[in-house]
Structure 1
Amino acid sequence: MAAAVVVGCLAIGFGLSSGEKPQPEEPLVIEQEAFPSNAELAPEPPVDTFAAVTEPAAEQPWNEQVVRSGDNLSLIFKRAGYNDRHVHRVVTESEHGKGLARIYPGQTIAFQSDDKGELVAVRHVKDKLQTVSYRLEDGHFSSQLLTREPELRESSATGVITSSLFMAGQEAGLSHTTIMDMANIFGGVIDFVGDPRKGDTMHLMFEELYLDGEKFDDGEIIAASYNNQGKTFTAYRYTDSNGETGYYNEDGVSMRKAFLLAPVDFTRISSNFNPRRIHPIYKTARPHRGTDYAAPTGTPVYAAGDGRVIQAGYSRANGNYVFIQHGEQFVTRYLHLHKRRVKQGQRVSQSQVIGTVGSTGAATGPHLHYEFLMNGVHRNPRTIHKQLPKAKSLAASELPRFRQAITGISAQLAALQQETDTRLAMANASEDRG
């Protein structure tokens, strides 16, 4: 009986809608044989062949509740017609019950009762891939985690820069997430705020996740290349023999550098490093020992490298600020933040969101003021990378395995590049004839 309940739960979690009911099987009809007339045999009482066949009880519909902002379990159970006693039983009696404490707006919690109105099942749809089913069995609630595996499909895209990386990515059909992933991969060698030029080309091979024949989510970038003013940068995703995954160029050199060239996304430089600039508010010659990135309020700000937050606070001039120490030599500073996402003393990793762009303090508009100090001296964030430590390479013993792993991928990437070059050459020839 327990096995039948679990199977039914699976069907409910992913097949039946809240209003559907399983159709009962038709009762089995048994024909009675005619007994011979024999006075010596006492006639047996007739057998009611339908008495042992029980009609399956009609399953009650599910009552679905969508988690709202500010909700808690008590409120959700109450809306569904249940009390804190039911909450306590589901949470404490089942294996996955504590997971109900971690609910988020937009998720669905569904309830099912028996014909007397008593709670017998709860279904927590965490996302399209995970559902937790709670069911009353033998007087106690048990639970089961139901997981779906999406289908992985490989895809590719090419783009030509006409105005910005973001626009080129959109025109190539790439999602915001994939564009940002590519920018992060090349973030240590290309400043996507200042380096891209019209005519630059990009090529990507990436995964997409499908569910029920429709795209569900973005997968990982498998390989990518970016041609910036005639110089091509290439990156391949590779998991080494120790199980560590990263992106490396064709020579096995890590694409992850000590620092990002730009700590924000999809922005433009509004004011470059300038030791003699006139301050826009104070109207006096004050050194501008950093770079300003104009961006809408709320734009994520990333830690330029691994390190520890040595200061995080507010001042009249800097507004909300974060200072990060990287090793013994380097410090990065992030000023005028709308919100801080880290605290003093906290360890941070490269590309971790440490705050959002704002206009707090002495600022004329929303922007990030970014400074880079080396041994206590301000340096131009856009040029200092040439003096930074070299990137790590794969061990010599790992290189044969790496080259074998990327052989097919590099050929596919080269084909994409050739196709783009041919298309651009034909377009230029057409323009010349015109």
Structure 2
Amino acid sequence: MTTAPDNERRERLKAKREAALHRPVLARELSAGFTGRWSRRQWAQASLFATIGMLIAAIVPGFNPQAPVTTQTPRHSMALTLPPLPMSRLRGQHGDSWQIVRVSRGQTLGKIFEEHGVPATTMHRLLEHPGVKQALTRLKPGTELGLDLPVNGGLRALRFDRDDSHRVELTLVGNDIRETVIERPTETRTVVLSGEVGRSLYRSARKLGLDGKHISTLTDEIFKYDIDFNEDVGAKDRFSVVVEQTWREGELIRTGPVLAATFTTGDKLHSGFRFERNGKAEYFTADGRSLRKSFIRMPIPYARLTSGFGTRRHPVLGTSRMHKGVDYAAGTGTPIMAAGDARVAFVGWKGGYGRAVILDHGRGYTTLYGHMSKFGNYKAGQRISQGAVIGYVGSSGMSTGPHLHYEFRVNGVHRNPLSITMPPPEPLSGAALAQFRTQTRTALDRIREVENIIYADVDGDDDSSSRVAKKAAPVKGGPKA
């Protein structure tokens, strides 16, 4: 039987257990064996737990009981009046919505209008206006057009350059078209561009502002017969070119053809000058002789020689006979060029030659072209230039396959076109020579002046590939374009 003292004792023990279970750990550890003074171990433990608590409070603000509680800040909106639009914008007046278009390759006016939502009927109305069809039916890449397209309407105006100095603006007003011509002054400067070949002639010339056509003029027209550009040209060799540049409103809009050029390879100077003879532009040496040879030895591109000049066994007749020309094998339709400037003496069928053309070059020189598949657009009596296409390779007449039979005659006597010494071109004479010499002397002096400035320190500069320069001073009395 349980007595009252036992019950009291059990209640006291239970109360102590409950108190021990709810006592904080740190307090329980620090109070274990407490004698009134903390031991060194108790101080270390207290410091460790305090440091951990401070770090947790700093890193995780939620653990910090003193961290401020964010509250939702009320937001207010306010209606503000915008500044009024200009009247031109409000009414959609002229000049508020111009869109500039630069024509890309293959792009037509119809495509441009379609891309901008302009109906074809509007385009046809514009093309019927005087001068528009000629200016806009064949757009060159880079041509700039302006379209006035308001947001709330169709095309209101079209703007384009009629030429370098005049801009045309066509405004659509109801059923009418009003034309306004704006003058844009231009300035023409004759400049000398000079540079060294460096790593690449093409690259250096492009740095100067010359395009592919100018470079082809140097390599394929002026210096073609005097310089082998694959073998003879070094990095230190230099070239100078005289051209006319057209500027408008501070922008270079066009560079004209090469008027004069020099090319120095090693210690040798080559030069060429543009001059019009009988209304045709040619390039001449400094003493007035044409740089273009009188005759092309091979009047057909991409062909191989299959039969030379002399006695041979005829491939059709099977007999041994004189072959009075040379044969070039090529595919049917390959163009055939005139070997030199000439008058067309004969066009038609000529026995075993089949379809043939005979050219009279003057001074007793004639050439014959046989076995054509078809003729060019020339008739007997017409004058043609060297390189003009007079027909196309075929196999007409006595022929075993498509090829060109080419003959060269001097005063009616057949000569081998591969070995004969071609006659030199006719030099300038009389008043034409005097005018040419005046132009040549001025241009050449200007080139030398520019080169003396640019290459004065040529020995002290090793970076030849990057040395390109230009002189934009006028060349008075220079060669005419």
- Which range, TM-score by smaller chain? 0.5 to 0.7
1:325 aligns with 2:363: no
Aligned partner of 2:134 among 99, 103, 107: 99
Q: Distance in 1 between matches of 2:302 and 2:268?
A: 23
Structure 1 residue 378: Cα displacement: 2.7
1:409 aligns with 2:447: yes
Structure 1 residue 309: Cα displacement: 3.1
Q: Distance in 2 between matches of 1:102 and 1:186?
A: 38
Pairs within 5 Å for 1:27-426:
55=90, 57=92, 59-60=96-97, 62=99, 80-84=117-121, 86-93=122-129, 95-100=130-135, 102-103=137-138, 112-114=148-150, 117-123=153-159, 133-136=169-172, 139-142=176-179, 144=181, 154-156=192-194, 177-178=213-214, 180-182=216-218, 183-185=220-222, 190=225, 198-199=231-232, 204-206=239-241, 219-220=257-258, 222-225=260-263, 234-237=271-274, 246-251=282-287, 253-255=288-290, 259-262=294-297, 270=305, 273-276=308-311, 287-290=322-325, 302-312=337-347, 322-327=357-362, 329-334=364-369, 341-345=376-380, 347-354=382-389, 362=399, 370-382=406-418, 384=420, 386-387=422-423, 390-393=426-429, 395=431, 397-398=434-435, 399=437, 402-409=440-447
Structure 1 counterpart of 2:261, which letter? Answer: A
Q: Distance in 2 between matches of 1:217 and 1:287?
A: 53
8 Å CA contact 1:107–1:125 kept in 2: the answer is no
Bigger helix share: 2
8 Å CA contact 2:170–2:177 kept in 1: the answer is no
Q: Distance in 2 between matches of 1:373 and 1:301?
A: 18
Structure 1 stretches lacking a partner, 5+ long: 1-25, 29-49, 161-166, 421-434
Structure 1 counterpart of 2:272, which letter? Answer: A
8 Å CA contact 1:254–1:393 kept in 2: the answer is no
SS of structure 1 residue aligned to 2:310:
coil
SS of structure 2 residue aligned to 1:119:
coil
8 Å CA contact 1:280–1:364 kept in 2: the answer is no
8 Å CA contact 1:309–1:345 kept in 2: the answer is yes
Q: Distance in 2 between matches of 1:101 and 1:53?
A: 30
RMSD over aligned CA atoms reads: 6.1
Structure 1 residue 336: Cα displacement: 6.7
Structure 1 counterpart of 2:444, which letter? Answer: I
| Higher RCO (C-alpha 8 Å, min separation 6) | 2
TM-score, normalised to structure 2, is 0.50
Q: Distance in 1 between matches of 2:112 and 2:353?
A: 43
Cα deviation digits, residues 228-286 of structure 1 (max 9, x gap)? 9x99764234579x9986533232x2315672344669868746852235678988756
Q: How many residues align?
A: 357
Structure 2 stretches lacking a partner, 5+ long: 1-82, 459-481
Q: Structure 1 pair 397/279, CA: closer, same or farther in 2 (3 Å)?
A: same
Structure 1 residue 97: Cα displacement: 1.9
Structure 1 residue 113: Cα displacement: 4.5
Structure 1 residue 222: Cα displacement: 1.8
Cα deviation digits, residues 320-363 of structure 1 (max 9, x gap)? 76543334733334457787553224744434532687566558
8 Å CA contact 1:292–1:369 kept in 2: the answer is yes
